[in-house]
Structure 1
Amino acid sequence: MTHPPALLRPAVPADLDALVELHTRARTAYYRVRFLREAALAAGRVEAWERNERARAFYARHGWRPDGHRRPGPAGACYVRMRLDMAAA
């Protein structure tokens, strides 16, 4: 059985929403399900750039909450640390 070759092309600005959604879903799924549960950890932490409102909103929808920690990031904006408590998830 042969398959047609995959179509690869450079990303264009119109692809941005789909790429961001794919990346954030994959990253959240990895940290929440695979790593935290398999490792039997009580909580997880992730950082999101404060200007990336879409990423912060995505994590918040999946139970991640800011824990008050911030560190300097690019362009004068901080990274915001978010925490997921597995007992509440």
Structure 2
Amino acid sequence: MKPVVSAMQAWSCTVISAFAIIILSVLGLLFKNEHHELVGGEDDPEDGPAVAATVFIAVLIYAGFLVFCGLQGLLHLRESRRGAIAL
């Protein structure tokens, strides 16, 4: 199987997705617990758990990116070990 994206794009996407999962998970937990800094103001959303559900959907999407890009990176590693010429 051949990689679809370049090695640099694959590893960059993997790192960005990992950080996005961490950051969005923390934000989702804060919204789920209705932290006063996020839902206590006048212009803030009133339904914290509904916002948390949306944020957790974004976490699942980034997890999909993490898996896809990580596999692409591993395909590049496997291809480079077999002596393929990178142009």
In the superposition, the TM-score normalised over structure 2's length comes to: 0.31
Point out the structure with the larger helix share.
2
Point out the structure with the larger strand share.
1
Determine which structure has greater relative contact order: mean sequence separation of CA pairs < 8 Å that are 6+ residues apart, divided by chain length. 2
